[in-house]
Amino acid sequence: MVPHIDSNSTVLGFDLSTQKLKAVQLSLKLEVISTAEVKFDSDLPEFRTSGGANSGSGNNEVFVQPVMWVKAIDIVLDRLVMQGADLNTVKAIGGSAQQHGSLYWSRHGVQTLRNLDSDKFLHVQINDSAFTVNRTPIWMDGSTEKQCIEMEAAIGGRAEMVNLTGSKCYARFTGPQIRKIYQERSHAYEETQFISVVSSFLASVFLGDIAPIDYGDASGMNLFDIKEKKWSKQCLNSCAPDLEERLGQPVPTSTLIGKISPFFVQRFGFPAECKITAFTGDNLSALSGMVAEEDSLVMSLGTSDTLIMNLKEQPQLEEGHVLCHPTEVDQFMGLLCFRNGSLVRESFNKTEANGDWKKFNELLDSTPRGNYGNMALHFHSIEIIPNLKGVLRWTRNSSPDNSESAKGVKKFPSPETEIRALIEGQMLHKRAIASDMGFHFGSNTKIIATGGASVNKSILQVISDVFNAPVFVQNESEAALFGAAYRARYSLYVNSVQESNSEIYQDANTKNLDSSLQLNYHDYVTQFIPNHLQLICEPSKDCDQIYSPMLERYRQMAFVLEQA
């Protein structure tokens, strides 16, 4: 029987981020119907988290008690209902979660998950006994350097790890974390029936069974062959024994993995046919929430700066991350993290503009593009690419050919020169690394800015000029959350095309379509939100002439800093 979908139908998206669990209910036309959130620190104080996490006893150990997340699911659904959300209209659920964290299900936990009692809260059923490890390591944990070295050595070196999995071994990635549990808590590892990442854990609860890990989040584990799209035997062997049976088979991110658990039907009134889409990592979900096109470069200016991009091919860049694309089969997503982002801008704002962003912007705007040849690199803490720390200021006369001249100057003569040199230097740096990763800059390039500093128009103008591309911001700020709901909506559409029951989905585009004419994710989603991007800045006419030579000079400066 084909399920009936009327115009009151909705989809639901979840995002389990570091600090909160958020939910959004959208109509089939992607209008917001209801939202709810649970903040871990303030709503669940009994878990004593700070910023959503707990510090472990060991160096760089950061963990979360999984029951806290379970309790948050109970609460967020209650809050949606309290807002008047009719969960009986929900036809599909999608999800997003912080990447890399790992959860270890006990046999008892798996049994409980499959037999939830709708008279009880989730958290009294999926309690500590559901997990063999009650302190789940999350992405902020940096305690597995030793396991990283061991895993890379075991498969024949770092280059091989990058080639297979899209990333060198990182302490926060799931594989090294699993290896540490196996080594230090072998009994718990033995007792573990399944291992979930945070996204597949959240999906498991809604599914009432262990949900598969999606290709996108699998790419953040140092265990998944991103070209072959299957677990890499070599990597599994370098990590822990009998791991494949604990991980289950990964699936494409767009997969409908099943129907909602009867628990939610009985307790919250979800329809029994409500479908669950594979859940994925938050960065992947953010790319789908931005509905980024091939030519879009997403720049997140949060605590650290991040670039996310679509890639047709896997680049060979040791320090970036390459993940399987969340919505385009056979494409990749490039992810670059920059440590010296907002925190450095903030420190300049303090020293040069008394902590006043308005003043900071006046100074920035009062200097010309190119800054009379004054340029700076500020890696105050160890940068990720290039992997170095240091500061270098060059004037127009500095030169790499002479070692004295290459050292540049200690300070520029004015605060405005300092500020422009900082911002231009940060953006030239990003442009160079994005090109190295394989992003192709051209006349259609668009920058989509997001995160705290994306409210700053003067900074966005510098970005526009340095990248020689218009800068947009999105009306919706929670890209990962909305991406989750958009993917749920798209999966309903694809399902309807495949089952050729288009008319009941009530949108023109599904009518009389055979699957060869199926719209891709971008075209499908943007028809409902045609104006999701707002143009903020356009590049000045002379910017290519100014910044192309400066890009070359940036590379010389980075080289000099590396040699120092």
Mark the segment that binds ligand XUL (CB under 6 A) among 239-247, 266-274, 277-285, 291-299.
277-285
Nearer to ligand ADP, 141 or 305 (CB): 305
Q: What is the closest distance, in whole angstroms, from the C-beta atom of residue 169 to ligand ADP in the complex?
A: 24
| Partner from ligand ADP, ligand XUL, none contacting 342, C-beta within 5 to 8 A by type | ligand ADP
Contact of 311 with 331, CB cutoff 8 Å:
yes
# residues near ligand ADP by CB under 6 A: 11
To the nearest 10°, the Cα dihedral for 82, 51, 101, 346? 120
Q: Which residue has the tokens 């009936």?
A: 4
The rounded radius of gyration (Å) of the Cα atoms in the chain is: 24
- At 139, give phi and psi (nearest 5°): -60, -20
Per-residue buried b or exposed e for 298-337, using 16+ beta carbons within 10 Å of the residue's own CB: bbbbeebbbbbbbbeebeebebbbbbbbbbbeeebbbbbb
Q: Is residue 66 at the binding interface for ligand ADP, with CB under 6 A as the rule?
A: no
Q: Is residue 303 at the binding interface for ligand ADP, with CB under 6 A as the rule?
A: yes
Position among 172, 259, 522, 553 found at the interface with ligand XUL (CB under 6 A): 172
Q: Is residue 342 at the binding interface for ligand ADP, with CB under 6 A as the rule?
A: yes
Q: Please, which of residues 117-156 interact with ligand XUL by CB under 6 A?
A: 139
User: What is the spatial distance between Cα 290 and Cα 529, in angstroms, rounded to a whole number?
Assistant: 11
Position among 357, 391, 414, 527 found at the interface with ligand ADP (CB under 6 A): 357
Nearer to ligand XUL, 52 or 370 (CB): 52
Q: Is residue 493 at the binding interface for ligand XUL, with CB under 6 A as the rule?
A: no
Judge if the upstream peptide bond of residue 415 is cis by omega within 30 degrees of 0.
no
Q: What is the closest distance, in whole angstroms, from the C-beta atom of residue 218 to ligand ADP in the complex?
A: 25
- At 298, give phi and psi (nearest 5°): -90, 125
Closest listed residue to residue 242, CA positions, set 230, 255, 233: 233
Contact of 509 with 527, CB cutoff 8 Å:
yes
Q: What is the closest distance, in whole angstroms, from the C-beta atom of residue 357 to ligand ADP in the complex?
A: 4
User: What is the spatial distance between Cα 355 and Cα 349, in angstroms, rounded to a whole number?
Assistant: 5
Q: Please, which of residues 94-113 interact with ligand XUL by CB under 6 A?
A: 98-100
Q: Give the 3-state secondary structure of 6-37.
A: CCCCEEEEEEECCCEEEEEEEECCCCEEEEEE
- Contact code string over 39-78 relative to ligand XUL, x by CB under 6 A: ----------------------------------------
Q: What is the closest distance, in whole angstroms, from the C-beta atom of residue 173 to ligand XUL in the complex?
A: 8
Contact of 121 with 301, CB cutoff 8 Å:
no
Q: What is the closest distance, in whole angstroms, from the C-beta atom of residue 279 to ligand XUL in the complex?
A: 13
- Contact code string over 515-534 relative to ligand ADP, x by CB under 6 A: --------------------
User: What is the spatial distance between Cα 492 and Cα 485, in angstroms, rounded to a whole number?
Assistant: 11
Helix (H) or strand (E) holding 477: none
SS3 396: coil
Nearer to ligand ADP, 295 or 346 (CB): 346
Give the CB-nearest residue to ligand XUL. 99
Contact of 310 with 333, CB cutoff 8 Å:
yes
Closest listed residue to residue 364, CA positions, set 464, 459, 472: 459
| Partner from ligand XUL, ligand ADP, none contacting 172, C-beta within 5 to 8 A by type | ligand XUL
Q: Is residue 453 at the binding interface for ligand ADP, with CB under 6 A as the rule?
A: yes
Instruction: Please give the residue ranges that form the binding site for ligand XUL (CB under 6 A).
Output: 18, 98-100, 139, 172, 220, 281-283
Instruction: Please give the residue ranges that form the binding site for ligand ADP (CB under 6 A).
Output: 302-303, 342, 345-346, 357, 451-453, 455-456
